[in-house]
Structure 1
Amino acid sequence: MTDSPRFDPTAIVRAASETLSVRRVFGEAYERDGALVIPVAKVMGGTGSGGGVGAHRPQREATTPTPQDPGSEGEGGGGGFGIRVRPVGVYIVDERGTHWRPALDMNRVILGGQVVGAIAVSVIGAVYALRVLRRR
């Protein structure tokens, strides 16, 4: 075995837990024009890791070791994490109380408009086809 650094899966979990935070992504709450603004986001994530240790095996015949048949001990490990963050809106706290201001996701608005448009075109096409068939 070599003296290479050992794989530490807890390091991945620590890094993911530090990243999976609204404050980390959007920053701390702040004050503006006498009002406290608190960002809100939907944060989702996951981690995964694994490791392995191989035992010594005699080589087949007198061939050069291959990655599939190394003929010696080994160990390995790896891991990672992924996150998805979506802004939801902000809470505004001022002298009038607490107010919610949702974030407007233009991609969803555009996609919704396209879906409604596609359904409208399909319905109009079907109605037109039925009228043409009834006239025959």
Structure 2
Amino acid sequence: MNLMELVEKSKDIATVKRVFGEPVRHGDVVVIPVARIAQGGGGGQGQGRGDKGDEGSGSGGGYGFAATPAGVFVLKDGDAIWRPAVDVNRIVVGGQIVAVVLLLTLRAILKKRRRTR
């Protein structure tokens, strides 16, 4: 597969339907899921001699795609309300970082107090 084929296939992946999912209806309420989409690709090529004097050549390519939930739009009674998705993992990691910084700060303060006595 060459690089141009890879680029063409990647266009099909990052579509509006991937960002905005199919609406879900429940009575008079419509919920539209929304996602954050990230994609990237790259390629390479090489020619010439290798380090050991043997014939060199090369090729390469790659593509990455990631989607994470962003939230939902709730349509009810003519109003559109945004409800963001809560990323519990991000909250937990943030709390751990704050706790580590707090503990290191307390440690430094206690060490300084011991030296001044």
In structure 2, the partner of 1:21 is 15
Structure 2 unpaired stretches of 5+: 49-53
CA apart distance, 1:41: 1.5
Give runs of aligned pairs for residues 1-136 of structure 1, distance below 5 A: 7-21=1-15, 23-24=17-18, 27-49=21-43, 68-69=54-55, 78-95=60-77, 97-135=79-117
TM-score, length-normalised on structure 2?
0.75
What is the total number of aligned residue pairs between the two structures?
112
Question: Residues 13 and 38 (structure 1 numbering): CA distance in 2 closer, same or farther, change over 3 Å?
Answer: same
Give the Å deviation of 1:52: 7.7
Q: Distance in 2 between matches of 1:14 and 1:124?
A: 55
SS across alignment from 1:42:
strand
Q: Is the 8 A contact 1:22 1:41 kept in 2?
A: no
- Whichever of the two has the greater Rg, that structure is 1
CA distance in 2, matches of 1:84, 1:50: 22
Please list every run of 5 or more consecutive structure 1 residues that lacks an aligned counterpart in the other structure.
1-6, 55-67
Q: Deviations over 1:46-78 (max 9, x none)?
A: 223456899xxxxxxxxxxxxx439xxx9x855
**TM-align CA RMSD:** 2.8
How far apart, CA to CA, are the structure 1 residues paired with 2:69 and 2:8? Answer: 23
Confirm or deny: 8 A CA contact 2:3 2:43 kept in the other structure. Answer: yes
SS in 1 for 2:105: helix
Query: Structure 1 vs Structure 2: percent identity of aligned residues?
Result: 35
> By how many angstroms is 1:80 displaced?
2.9
Name whichever of 76-85 and 126-135 sits farther off. 76-85
How far apart in 2 are the matches of 1:107 and 1:94? 30
- Report the AA paired with residue 10 of structure 1: M
What is the TM-score normalised by the length of structure 1?
Answer: 0.66
Query: Could you say which residue in structure 1 is the equivalent of 2:51?
Result: none
